[in-house]
Amino acid sequence: MGDVILEMKQIDKTFPGVHALDHVDFEVRRGEVHALMGENGAGKSTLMKVLTGIYTKDSGTIIYEGKEVEFHNTREAQAAGVVIVHQELNMLGHLTVAQNIFIGREFKKGIRIDDKKMNDEARKLFDRLNIDIDPTTTMSDLTVGKQQMCEIAKAISHDAKVIIFDEPSAALTEAEIEDLFKIIRDLRQQQLGIVYISHRMDEIKVITDRVSVMRDGCYVGTLITDDCTKDDIVNMMVGRVIYEEPKTKSMVPEDAEVVLKVEHLNAGKMVQDVSFELHKGEILGFSGLMGAGRTETARAIFGADPKESGDIYVKGRKVVINSPEDAVKAGIGYLSEDRKRFGIVVQKTIAENTTMADLPNYMKGLFIDKKKEKQAAQKYVDSLATKTPSVEQLVVDLSGGNQQKVVIAKWLCKNCDILIFDEPTRGIDVGAKNEIYKLMNKLAGEGKSIIMISSEMQEILRMSDRIVVMCEGRKTGELKIEETTQEKIMNLATRDID
Q: Work out the mean pLDDT of the chain and round it to a whole number.
A: 87
458-487 pLDDT tens trace: 889 999 999 999 988 999 999 999 999 888
Beta-bridge partner residues of 67 = 64
Report the alpha-carbon angle 72-74-76, nearest 5: 60
User: What was the pLDDT predicted at 498?
Assistant: 42
60 contact partners, CB below 8 Å, separation of at least 6: 8, 9, 10, 11, 12, 23, 24
6 contact partners, CB below 8 Å, separation of at least 6: 27, 28, 51, 62, 63, 64, 65, 82, 162, 193
Are 276 and 224 contacting, i.e. CB atoms less than 8 angstroms apart? Answer: no
Domains 4-238 and 258-493 share a fold: yes
Strands 466-471 and 363-364: unpaired
Q: How far is CA 170 from the centre of its chain?
A: 6
CA distance 323 to 300: 9
CA distance 492 to 475: 9
> What percent of the chain is modeled with pLDDT above 90?
46
Are 418 and 331 contacting, i.e. CB atoms less than 8 angstroms apart? Answer: yes
83-138 pLDDT tens trace: 988 765 667 878 898 998 888 788 888 888 888 888 998 888 888 777 788 889 89
CATH topology of domain 258-493: Rossmann fold (3.40.50)
173 contact partners, CB below 8 Å, separation of at least 6: 145, 290
Report whether pLDDT(248) > 60.
Answer: yes
Identify the band that residue 384 occupies on the pLDDT scale cut at 50, 70 and 90: confident
User: What was the pLDDT predicted at 239?
Assistant: 72
Q: For the chain, give every domain's residue range.
A: 4-238, 258-493
CA distance 312 to 263: 6
CA distance 261 to 318: 9
188 contact partners, CB below 8 Å, separation of at least 6: 31, 32, 33, 194
Short-list 412, 341, 345, CA closest to 376:
412
CATH topology of domain 4-238: Rossmann fold (3.40.50)
197-235 pLDDT tens trace: 987 777 888 999 999 999 888 999 999 999 998 888 878
Short-list 495, 159, 347, 365, CA closest to 356:
347
Beta-bridge partner residues of 276 = 262
Short-list 161, 149, 159, 225, CA closest to 191:
161
Distances (CA, A) of 162 to 5, 51, 191, 217: 8, 11, 9, 23
Are 213 and 44 contacting, i.e. CB atoms less than 8 angstroms apart? Answer: no
Q: Which of 133-147, 239-253, 265-279, 315-329 has the lowest mean pLDDT?
A: 239-253
Report whether pLDDT(186) > 80.
Answer: yes
Q: Which of 232-236, 262-266, 280-284 has the lowest mean pLDDT?
A: 232-236
Q: Is 464 left (phi over 0), alpha (psi -120 to 50) or beta?
A: beta
Q: Which helix (H) or strand (E) holds 5?
A: strand 4-15
Strand order through the sheet with 332-335: 332-335, 418-422, 449-453, 283-287, 466-471, 474-480
CA distance 290 to 87: 18
